[in-house]
Amino acid sequence: MYYFCLPKELFQNPTSTVVTASNNDLLGAVIAIDGQWRFPELDSVPQKFKHCVLQFEDAHFYYHFGFNPISIAKALSKNIKAKRVVRGGSTLTQQVIRLSRKNKKRSYFEKLKELVLATRLEFRLSKENILKLYASHAPFGGNVVGLEMASWRYFGLQPHQLSWAETATLSVLPNAPSLIYPGKNQQRLKVKRDKLLQKLYKKEIIDSITYVLAIEEELPQKPYNLPNTARHLVQKIAKKHRGQRIKSSIDVFLQEQINEVVKKKYQVLRQNEIHNASILVLDVETRKVLAYVGNTPTDKEHQKDVDNVLSSRSTGSVLKPFLYAQMLQSGDLLPNQLVADIPTQIAGYVPKNYDLAFDGAVPANEALTRSLNIPAVRLLQRYGLEKFRDDLKEYQIKAITKSADYYGLSLILGGAEASLWDLCKVFAGYAGTVNNYEILRHKYYDHEFKEQSYLFDEVVDFGEVKEASNKIDAGSAFLTLNTLTEVNRPTQDQAWKFYASSQKIAWKTGTSFGNRDAWAIGTTAKYVVGVWVGNSDGEGRPNLTGVGSASPILFNVFNLLPKSNWFLEPFEDLIEEEICEKSGQLGLPICTSTKKRIQKNGIRASSCLYHKEIQVDAAEKYQVNTNCESVSDIVTKTWFVLPPLQAYYYQQKNAAYKRLPDFRVDCNVAESLKMDFVFPTNNYAKISLTRDVTGKLNPVVLKVTHTKRDAKVYWYLNDTFINTTTNYHQLAISPPKGIHKITVIDDLGNELKRTLEVD
C-alpha cells in the first residue's frame, strides 16, 4: 500500500505552450487550456531561488526525509496557544504533495496523508527534482503558476536573470500569493522580502553590499507582458504542440531586426491603406526557419491575427521561373532563345504585358527578368499546361489542388494560389539542388523539395541519394537562378554590380491581378527570403506591386544576413555548345555564334530558325536570282529574318534590325507569305464598338504589317472591295452588328482572312 500510494504522475495540469529561440530566449507562449499561465516544468532551479526558498520555507530541506518533526511540534504549540493557525510546519516536500492534491481542505487527517506521501516522494525523487516540482507548480498570485512564468510576469526576465531582491520577492509569494497585486499590500510584501534578505545576509549567503542594495530595490509596480517576438509562429506551433516547451530554430536577433524592418515599412504602407505583410527566412543547407513574421503590427480591424506566411494568395508572376527551368530541363528552350512577344489570343484568353507594349521577339531570359506576360503564356502553351501542373504538384505547393483545365493558361500569371511558406520551400529546393550536386558528387537527393522545419532539434530528411533528379536537374536550376540575378533591383540598389560588398541574389517579384498581392522571393547559396505585402482581406490598392512594395523589404532583410558566396557552377551538368548570338538557338554555320554553357538537354533544342542565306545584287539593295542577274554579280548574304508580325514590333525597339530586301522587279519569283495581321491577330475575333461623347459609334481599326516596303494591300469586307493601302496598312471601318469576313490581298497575290464578330 505504501509503495502504490503515490500516483505515478503527480501533476496532470494542462500547461502553457512555450516557444523559445535557438539560443533559448523566450519567443512567446500560449495560455494553458484551463486559463492558467503555467509553464512546463523547469529543467533546473536557479541557485538564487534555491537559497531564497530554502531559507524562507525549509532550511533543513536537505536533512529531513519528507517532514520535519521539530517544525511540526513548534507549529502545533504556537497554533494551540494562539487558537488559530499562525505558523505552518510543512516542508517543501509536503507542499509539493499539497499542490499535487489541489490544496484540499486542511485537517489533521489530511496533514497525516501529506506526511506519508511526502516520505514516499522522497524515496522516488532526488531533492533537486522535488525542488524543481515546487518551483514549477507553486502559485504566484492570480493565474500565475510556477517560477518561470512569475519571473516573466512580474519582472520581464528569465528566472536566472533576477537579482537577489527580485528572487527574494518571488520566494515569499507562494506563502501569501495575494500580496503581489500591484499597488496593494506593498508594505507587507516588502517586510517579508527584507526579512528574507536579512536572513540571507546573516547566513553569509550574500554580502553586506548586496544586502544594502537589495533592500533599496523597488517592488514590482505593474505586470509585464510576455515576449511576443514571433507571435504567429508561436500560434502555429501551439496548434501542433499544445502544452509543450518547444525550442525553435528561430534566430532571435535576426527576428527582432526583421520585426523592426516590418514595423518601419508598415508606417509607410498604411498611408496607402496597405495593412499587412509577412516575411519568411530559411537556411538552405538545413532547411530551418530562421525568421518568421506572419503580419505587421496592425490592429484587429485589419486582421492582425491572420498568419500571412501560411495564407494562400494569388501567385502573380512568381511561378514564371519554375516554367523557365522546366523548359530548360526538357530541352524545349535555351536560356537566351528568342520567344514571341506579340498580340495573342488563345481560346478567348488575351494576356497583356504590364506596360501594354510588345517587343515582337525577346530572349527568354530577358522575358523572365522583365516578367513579360505574353511570352510566359505562349511558352506555357508550348510546354503543356497539364505537364506544368504536374511539375507544380511535384514541388508540393499545397494550395494548387485543381486540374490544369480549371486554371487554364492564366496559371502562369496568378490564376492559382500559393502560400509564402510553399513558395520559399521551392526556391530553397532549387538552391539546395545546385548546392548538393557538388556535395553529393554529381548526384541528387530524392526529396530535395522537403518541407522546411521550425524545430531546433529536427533534422530534415532529404531522402536517398540518386543518380538523377526527379524534379529539376542542377544545370537547369543553376541557369534559372543565374538568370534571376539580372532582375532589376529597387531604385536604391540599381548600381549593386559596381560595389564589391554587394552579393548576387536570385530573386523574382510578382503582382496579382487588381494589385491585391505583392511578392518578392530571393535566394543565395545560403539563405532564402520571402516577402508578401497586401491586405489580408484581399482588397487591392493602387501602386501595390512586387517591385515597389515587397522588394525593398526583401533587400533590407538580405542586408541583415551574413554575405554568402554564389553557387558553384555545376560543370558536369552543363555542356558547351555554339549558340547563335541573335536567336539564342543552337548555332548554324550561317549565323554568328559564340560558345556558351547550356543544360544537357539543350542539345535537343532547335537550331537557328531566323537566319537564312539570300542572294542580293552588288549594291546589296535588292534580292536577285539567276533569272535576273549574272552569277558573277550575285552576292550571298546571311540575313536575320523574323516572321512579319514579330518583325513589326521588334524593329520598333531594335533600330538595327534590317528588313529583308525586296526582289528586284525584273526577277520572277514566287515569294512566301510576307504579311500578317497586327489586329485582329486571331482567325476569329469578337469586338464591341464604343461610342464617343456625341453618341457616335467609334470605328474599329484594322492593321496589317508587310515586309515589302511599297507593297499595295487590297481590303475586302464580306468579299466587297472597300479600300487600298500602301506603305502603312491601317484601315478604320464601322461594320454593323453581326459576323463579317475581312480579306486582304497584296499585289503579289498573298491573301489573308479574318472573321470579325461585332457586338
**Digit-coded pLDDT (tens) for 445-490:** 999 999 999 999 999 999 999 999 989 999 999 999 999 999 888 7
> At 283, phi and psi to the nearest 5?
-90, 120
Start and end residues for every CATH 3.40.710.10 domain found in the chain = 312-560
Q: What are phi and psi of 526, to 5 degrees?
A: -110, -40
Whether the CB-CB separation of 544 and 533 falls below 8 Å is answered with: yes
Q: Which CATH architecture has domain 34-216?
A: Orthogonal Bundle (1.10)
The amino acid that residue 434 corresponds to is V
Note the Cα 535 to chain centre separation in Å: 16
User: First-to-last CA distance in the chain?
Assistant: 94
Q: What is the pLDDT of residue 256?
A: 97
Instruction: Give, in order, the Cα–Cα distances in Å from 293 to each of 273, 308, 530.
Output: 20, 8, 10
Largest CA distance in the chain: 139
Q: Which of 216, 227, 215 is nearest to 153 (CA)?
A: 227
CA 434 to chain centre: 20
Q: Which of 754, 681, 682, 683 is nearest to 715 (CA)?
A: 754
197 SS3 class: helix
Q: Which three cell numbers stand for residue 581?
A: 548570338
Q: What angle do CA 28, 30, 34 make, to 5 degrees?
A: 155
C-alpha cell at 195: 526579512
Question: Over the Cα atoms of the chain, what is R_g?
Answer: 38
Whole-model pTM: value is: 0.86
Residue 183 has pLDDT above 70, yes or no: no
Q: 3-class DSSP state for residue 274?
A: coil
Q: What is the mean pLDDT of residues 636-658?
A: 90
Q: What is the dihedral of CA 181, 182, 185, 190, to 10 degrees?
A: 110
169-179: per-residue pLDDT in tens? Answer: 999 988 777 77
- Beta-sheet strands, E only, within 31-81: 37-38
Please report the DSSP string for 446-466 in residue order: TTTTPPPB-BTT-------EE
pLDDT higher than threshold 70 for residue 96: yes
**720-726 and 712-717 beta bridge pairing:** antiparallel
The Cα 195–Cα 738 span in angstroms is 100
**Grid cell 504579311 — which residue?**
675
Please give the grid coordinates belonging to residue 94. Answer: 509536503
Q: Which three cell numbers stand for residue 430?
A: 532549387
What value does the mean pLDDT take over residues 491-497? Answer: 62
Lowest mean pLDDT across 194-208, 272-286, 701-715? 701-715
Which among 555, 15, 25 has a CA at the least distance from the CA of 251?
25
pLDDT for 668 equals: 67
Structural contact between residues 433 and 463, judged by C-beta atoms closer than 8 angstroms: no
Q: Which of 492, 491, 526 is nearest to 506 (CA)?
A: 526
**Are 313 and 343 spatial neighbours (Cβ–Cβ below 8 Å)?**
no
CATH number, span 312-560: 3.40.710.10
Q: How far is CA 405 from the centre of its chain?
A: 27
- Write out the residue limits of the CATH 1.10.3810.10 domain(s) in the chain: 34-216
> Cell triple for residue 129?
527534482
Q: 495 or 182: which carries more pLDDT confidence?
A: 495
Residue 493 confidence (pLDDT):
63
**CB half-sphere exposure, 74, CA atoms < 13 A:** 8
pLDDT value at residue 85? 57
DSSP count for the chain of H helices, then E strands: 20, 28
Mean pLDDT on 74-84: 67
Mapping DSSP onto H, E and C, the string for 469-537 reads CCCCCHHHHHHHHHHHCCCCCCHHHCCHHHCCCCCCCEEEEEECCCCCEEEEEEECCCEEEEEEEECCC
Q: How many CB atoms lie within 10 A of CB 463?
A: 12
Cis before 680? omega within 30: yes
The CATH 2.60.40.10 portion of the chain extends over 675-758
Q: Helix, strand, coil shares of the chain as percentages rounded to 5?
A: 35, 20, 45
- How many Å apart are CA 592 and CA 596, to the nearest integer? 13
Kindly tell me if the per-residue pLDDT of 289 is higher than 90: yes
Pairing of strands 635-640, 611-616: antiparallel
What is the reported pLDDT for 83?
63
Q: What's the CA gap between 187 and 659, in Å, rounded? A: 96
Which residues on adjacent β-strands are paired with residue 81? none
Say if strands 738-746 and 675-679 run parallel, antiparallel, or are unpaired: unpaired
Strands (E), 699-737: 700-706, 712-717, 720-726, 729-733
Higher pLDDT, 667 or 27: 27
Q: What is the mean pLDDT of residues 361-372?
A: 96
In this model, does residue 594 exceed pLDDT 90?
Answer: yes
Give mean pLDDT, residues 319-345: 95
- 308: Cβ contacts below 8 Å, ≥ 6 apart: 276, 277, 278, 294, 295, 420, 532, 534, 536
Judge contact between 519 and 532, C-beta under 8 A: yes
C-alpha cell at 237: 506551433
CA 558 to chain centre: 13
Q: Is the pLDDT of residue 546 over 80?
A: yes
Q: For 183-197, give one letter per residue: b (16+ CB within 10 A) or e.
A: eeebeebbebbbebb
| Over residues 703-707, mean pLDDT | 85
Provide the 3-class DSSP secondary structure of residue 98. helix
> Phi-psi bin for 234: left (phi > 0), alpha (psi -120 to 50), beta?
alpha
Tell me how far apart the alpha carbons of residues 596 and 8 are, in angstroms, rounded to a whole number: 71
Q: How far apart are CA 498 and CA 485, in angstroms?
A: 14
Residue 18 has pLDDT above 80, yes or no: yes
Task: Report, at the CATH architecture level, how domain 675-758 is classified.
Answer: Sandwich (2.60)
Q: pLDDT at residue 75 above 70?
A: no
- Average pLDDT value for the chain: 90
Q: What angle do CA 339, 345, 347 make, to 5 degrees?
A: 120
Give percent of the chain above pLDDT 70: 95
Pair 89, 118: CB distance under 8 Å:
no
From the list 32, 35, 37, 30, the residue with the least C-alpha distance to 14 is 32
The set of residues, in sequence order, having a beta carbon less than 8 Å from that of 658 and lying 6+ positions away, is 639, 640
| Amino acid 662: pLDDT | 82
Task: For residue 243, give the nearest of 19, 483, 73 by alpha carbon.
Answer: 19
- pLDDT at residue 141 in the model: 87
Phi-psi region at 83: left, alpha or beta (left = phi > 0; alpha = psi -120 to 50):
left
Q: What is the mean pLDDT of residues 326-350?
A: 92
Q: How far is CA 257 from CA 108, 211, 264, 310, 574, in A?
A: 58, 38, 11, 21, 40
- How many other C-beta atoms are found inside a 10 Å radius of the C-beta of residue 468? 7
